[in-house]
Amino acid sequence: MTGRVRTQDGFVAAELALGVGLLLFPVAMLVLTLPTWSERQAVGRAIAREVARTATISGSCDVPRAELTAATMSRNLGLEPSDVAVDLDCLPGQLPRGGDVTANVTVRLPAVAIPALIEVGDWAWTARHTQPVDPYRSIE
């Protein structure tokens, strides 16, 4: 009888590569992407608030002015204006006293974003803000 001893050598490298590739890498990508989602959602909320407020103060449902406000704010907050779409939910022209203006701001969020390297895929998220028109403002 020959004394052949069986060992379990050689599988650690394969298990480590599979563990990193299947578990660690996707979790790391998610962890790197979550702050981007949160940041862009906060930017969307801020733009929606400001656009609705600007419309109520001006007293008119002016979509081009809302888009200009959104583009300016998105640039100031570090987001490309092409990643933001604005829609005002009000009738064109003068706003009635005591009415409401709802601003819908849709922001593009990357599915996976590695800061300073790559963004892969995207999806849209919409922030809404309703601002009441002052019921006591003067009629022009």
Q: Using CA atoms, how far apart are residues 120 and 106, in angstroms rounded to an integer?
A: 18
Structure pTM? 0.76
Q: What is the pLDDT of residues 104-113, one digit of tens each?
A: 999 998 887 7
Q: Tell me how far apart the alpha carbons of residues 18 and 20 are, in angstroms, rounded to a whole number.
A: 5
Q: What would the two tokens of residue 45 be?
A: 């909320």
Residues in the chain: 140
DSSP-derived 3-state class of residue 114: strand
Token digits of residue 57: 């103060």
Q: Which residues pair with 110 in a beta bridge?
A: 122
- The per-residue pLDDT for range 41-64, each reduced to its tens digit, is 999 999 999 999 999 988 888 889
